[in-house]
């Protein structure tokens, strides 16, 4: 990436950067990236698991009902119903890289 | 995707499918996808947030220390140290699609 400080990066910026790096026309890059994201969504919608070496795994898992709390009004419990979620598990390589990131927002 | 039942889909399969759909040489598709995944990792390593419309958001967040349990030996608590994680938040469109997936594995 060319930016030294890019807080939020979007598809358009990544496409421009890939086109420049790989010397491929931005239109083709856009087609490939869009198709990639669409097919990923499509696979997940069939309940498939997607595995990208050195990146991570995407899968759909069922999250059981749980009781949450509104942080502004902790006395009132909120029932979060059972639902499907997309679970992303980073690869070992990604985890090692991510571990070096200093002071991201705490959750 | 051509497969009607593809349980685990990998990069190679997605590349072949995109190349066919978009009529772009698989080598170029591979370059674009690899560059996309590499730059995504690179951005996350700088603490950046990545936002893809209709797909979702990737970001690095700090997870506080927590006490876990070994499901096979629940009496022994396991301390999971404070660490960075990659958080993927699916878009509203993705959530709607995912909600229709029937009986994925429960967590």
**C-beta of residue B14 within 8 angstroms of C-beta of residue B22:** no
DSSP letter string over chain A? Answer: ---S--SEEEHHHHHHHHHHHHT--HHHHHHHHHHHHHHHHHHHHTT-EEEETTTEEEEEEEEPPEEEEETTEEEEEEEE--EEEEEEEE-HHHHHHHTT--SPPB-
Under 8 Å CB pairs connecting chains A and B tally to: 197
Residue of B nearest to A97 (CA): B45
B9: nearest CA partner in chain A: A50
Question: For residue B33, is it within any domain?
Answer: yes
In a domain, residue A39? The reply is yes
Residue A16 lies in a domain: yes
Structure tokens that stand for B20 in this block = 């066919």
A61 in Cβ contact with A85 (< 8 Å): yes
How many other β-carbons are positioned within 10 Å of the β-carbon of residue B85? 18
Q: Which domain holds residue B29?
A: 7-48
ipTM attached to this prediction = 0.83
CA-to-CA separations, A83 to A25, A60, B101, in angstroms, rounded: 41, 10, 10
CA distance B33 to chain A (A): 7
The nearest CA of chain B is from the CA of A37 a distance in Å of 7
pTM listed for this prediction: 0.83
The span from the CA of A41 to the CA of A60, in Å, is: 10
Tell me if B32 is assigned to some domain.
yes
pLDDT digits (tens, 9 = 90+) for B20-72: 999 999 999 999 999 999 999 999 999 899 999 999 999 999 999 988 888 88
Q: To the nearest whole angstrom, how far is the Cα of B57 from the nearest Cα of chain A?
A: 9
Asked whether residue A1 is assigned to any structural domain, the reply reads no
The structural domain count of chain B equals: 1
Q: B44 vs A101: CB contact, 8 Å cut-off? A: yes
Radius of gyration of chain B (CA): 19
Return the bridge partners of B62, or none: A106, B84
Distance CA A11, CA A36 (A): 12
Q: With an 8 Å Cβ cutoff, are B40 and A55 in contact?
A: yes
- A22–B62 C-beta distance less than 8 A: no
Chain A residues within an 8 Å CB radius of B30: none
Token digits of residue A78:
């909120």
Given a cut of 80, whether residue B105 has pLDDT beyond it is no
At residue B92, does pLDDT exceed 60? yes
Closest Cα partner for B30 from A95, A88, A16, A53? A53
Give a yes or no: residue B100 inside a domain. no
């Amino acid at each position: 990436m060319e930016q030294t400080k890019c807080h939020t990066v979007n598809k358009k910026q990544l496409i421009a950067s890939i086109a420049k790096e790989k010397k491929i026309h931005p239109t083709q890059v856009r087609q490939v990236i869009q198709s990639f994201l669409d097919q990923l969504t499509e696979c997940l919608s069939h309940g498939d698991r997607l595995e990208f070496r050195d990146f991570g795994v995407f899968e759909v898992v069922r999250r059981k009902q749980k009781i949450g709390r509104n942080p502004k009004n902790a006395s009132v419990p909120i029932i979060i119903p059972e639902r499907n979620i997309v679970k992303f598990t980073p690869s070992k390589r990604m985890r090692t890289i991510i571990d070096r990131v200093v002071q991201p927002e705490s959750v």
